[in-house]
Structure formats: structure tokens, C-alpha cells
Amino acid sequence: MSAILIDGKARAARLRAEVALGVAEIVSVRGRAPGLAVVLVGEDPASSVYVRNKGVATREAGMVSVEHKLPADVGEDALLALVATLNADDAVDGILVQLPLPRHIDADKVIAALDPAKDVDGFHPVNAGRLMIGQPALVPCTPKGCLMLIEEALGDLSGREALVIGRSSIVGKPMAALLTAKSATVTVAHSRTRDLAGHVARAEIVVAAVGIPAMVQGEWLRPGACVIDVGINRVVGADGKGRLVGDVDFASALPRAGWITPVPGGVGPMTIACLLANTLQAARARA
């Protein structure tokens, strides 16, 4: 038996097409396309690539993307002032501050300064709190995309045994909240968890968001499990070339899982598509 590969690229393309339709609708009602402001501080190469890709995807969906590039030594006050300006700008429906920020800037303070209605990353405490108590919220893009992939594979998640490995605020914790809201029975594992393999063995759904290459072994899996690999780890192969691998050992998981996301081409494409969906959601809520 071999797992069904979950095609994140194809699912993301469908979501992007749905968003583009929603954008056309809001333009016809409001006369203006949704606007996303992306703030990049410094010149970290990975962050610059993410910001460029987000800009391209936003424009492809028919939305307006405005990038604000600030020098690495910009003061926290100047960044907070830009956030305040974007909060007040009616043409801006979504604001994304690319993380990580330089060490001299308090990222929590910057996130807390965002208007929660424009917080398309879903990192503001108000959105995190709303997600926890089941109120409408802007939900972090990566777990939102993972949930879509899981539901597409399994349908109704009610009563399913789910294991989320990792408890970060951007992936693990919101993932656990989303699965709980779908009535799955959720376990959250982290660096202090004992007998991770034992937890994995019980899970019908495994979401791995750790950042350790190929940590989850295929033999640990419950046969037929739905495996969502969030990890993006750059490793050097035997041929000396760099390549990306996930947190799950793909080769040993493939014959045992029921469904599995590849890395790359699984969760990654969904993250950007969900950013577009969140921007549309924010624009609709403000319209």
C-alpha cells in the first residue's frame, strides 16, 4: 500500500481561483479591490523572497499589493508609526508585517499595534483569543491551509484522534484549536513530550510542525493515518546538493500512511493561498 499524495499545489490553485472570484465580486460592489500592505524590515534574503512571492500572488488574485521596505536599523517607533498609518488607511484591508523582525524591535508590540480587523496573519492576541473561544477570527494561514487539506482527505473530523507536534503560536496552537473546533480529539506534543512514538501510533491525523528534518518515523504511524508535514528544513544530500525535507521521514511514511503531504508542494502553497483568502475575508468584513 502507498499513501495518497495530497497535492497542496492543486488545492491552493483552486483556493486562489475562488479568491479571485470573490475579489471580482467585491470590486463590483465596492468599486475597489482589496488592498494588502506588506511591511519588510531589513534585507533578510528568505524574507525578501517570501514578500516578493506574496506580492505576486496578491496581484494575480486581482488585489492591490503595496510593499513597504524599511531599513534594518529602523526604530521601533517609526515602525509603529507606519502600522498606525496603515491601520487608518481606508484603502488597506490587510496588513502583514514579515517576521522575524530585527532584535531591537519587540515583535509582540508591533503585532499588538495592528488593527485586529486587518491582521491577515492572524497573530494579534484578539484574533488568537477569538479562535480559542470559537468566535469569527482571522486565522493564521499555515494551520488554516492544513485544515483544508485534512478535511479534503478525511471529510468529517468529528471524533478523530489528532496529534499536533509543535506548540508555536503560528502553527501548533492554532492548529490544535482548529481541529478541536472540528470536534477532533486533539493531543499537542512538544519538546517535553514523553513517548512521542506512542502518541503518533494512536493518531489518525498527524500534523508535524517542529523544524527537525525527518524526525517522525514511518514505523511510528498508525496505518492509514493522514500525515500533514509542515516542516521546511534545508539539508545537504549524499550528492552534496541542498534540498528541502519535512519533519516526517517521507520514504518510510509513504508505505504506511493513508494520505501524506510532500515537501515541497504540500502545505507551503496553501499558506500563501490562505493569506489571499484572509485578505478577502478582511475586505468583506470591512465592506
Binding site residues for NADP(+), as ranges?
166-168, 232
The least distance separating ligand NDP from the CB of residue 189, rounded to whole angstroms, comes to: 5
* 188 near ligand NDP, judged by CB under 6 A: no
Q: Residue 38: in which H helix or E strand, if any?
A: strand 35-41
Which part of the chain contacts ligand NDP (CB under 6 A), choosing from 34-42, 48-56, 165-173, 175-183? 165-173
* 275 near ligand NDP, judged by CB under 6 A: no
* 243 near ligand NDP, judged by CB under 6 A: no
* 227 near ligand NDP, judged by CB under 6 A: no
Look up residue 10 and give its amino acid: A
Which part of the chain contacts ligand NDP (CB under 6 A), choosing from 16-24, 29-37, 186-194, 218-226? 186-194
* 168 near ligand NDP, judged by CB under 6 A: yes
Q: Of these, 128, 267, 282, 283, which contacts ligand NDP (CB under 6 A)?
A: 267
Comparing CA positions, the residue from 56, 77, 2, 203 lying closest to residue 216 is: 203
The least distance separating ligand NDP from the CB of residue 88, rounded to whole angstroms, comes to: 30
Which residues, 6+ apart, have CB-to-CB distance to 2 below 8 Å? 254, 255
* 166 near ligand NDP, judged by CB under 6 A: yes
Residues that bind ligand NDP (rule: CB under 6 A) add up to a total of 25
Look up residue 231 and give its amino acid: G
CA distance 240 to 121: 36
The least distance separating ligand NDP from the CB of residue 50, rounded to whole angstroms, comes to: 9
Which part of the chain contacts ligand NDP (CB under 6 A), choosing from 49-57, 81-89, 113-121, 226-234? 226-234
CA distance 178 to 274: 14
Half-sphere exposure of 218 (CA within 13 A, CB side): 14
Asked about 156 being catalytic, the answer comes back as no
The least distance separating ligand NDP from the CB of residue 267, rounded to whole angstroms, comes to: 4
CA distance 230 to 211: 8
Q: Of these, 58, 127, 142, 180, which contacts ligand NDP (CB under 6 A)?
A: 142
Cell numbers for 208: 508535524
Residue linked to cell 518510510: 252
* 265 near ligand NDP, judged by CB under 6 A: no
CA distance 105 to 108: 9
- Strand ranges across the sheet with 226-229: 4-5, 259-260, 226-229, 205-208, 161-165, 185-189
Angle between helix 8-30 and helix 45-60 axes, rounded to 10 deg: 60
Asked about 90 being catalytic, the answer comes back as no
End-to-end CA distance of the chain: 50
Cell numbers for 106: 519587540
Asked about 121 being catalytic, the answer comes back as yes
* 258 near ligand NDP, judged by CB under 6 A: no
Q: Of these, 211, 217, 254, 284, which contacts ligand NDP (CB under 6 A)?
A: 211
Question: Any idea which residues carry the catalytic annotation?
Answer: 54, 98, 121
Applying CB under 6 A, which residues contact ligand NDP?
142, 165-168, 170-172, 189-193, 196, 209-212, 230-233, 267-268, 271
